[in-house]
Chains A and B, each alone.
Chain A
Amino acid sequence: GDSVTQTEGLVTLTEGLPVMLNCTYQSTYSPFLFWYVQHLNEAPKLLLKSFTDNKRPEHQGFHATLHKSSSSFHLQKSSAQLSDSALYYCALRSGGSNAKLTFGKGTKLSVKS
Chain B
Amino acid sequence: EAAVTQSPRNKVAVTGGKVTLSCNQTNNHNNMYWYRQDTGHGLRLIHYSYGAGSTEKGDIPDGYKASRPSQENFSLILELATPSQTSVYFCASGDVGAGNTLYFGEGSRLIVV
Residues of A within 8 A of B (CB): 32, 34, 36, 42-46, 49, 89, 91, 93, 98-106
Cα separation A46 to B103 with both chains bound (whole Å): 8
- Interface of chain A, helix or strand or loop or mixed? strand
Residues from chain B with Cβ under 8 Å of A42 in the complex: 106
The interface-forming segment of B10-18, B62-70, B79-87, B94-102 is B94-102
In the A-B complex, the 9 residue pairs with the closest CB atoms:
A105-B42, A43-B104, A103-B43, A106-B42, A99-B31, A46-B101, A44-B104, A103-B42, A43-B106
Assuming A34-B101, A49-B101, A103-B42, what are 17 further A-B pairs, CB within 8 angstroms? A32-B100, A44-B104, A45-B103, A46-B101, A46-B102, A49-B100, A99-B48, A99-B56, A99-B95, A100-B56, A101-B45, A101-B94, A101-B100, A103-B45, A105-B40, A105-B42, A106-B43
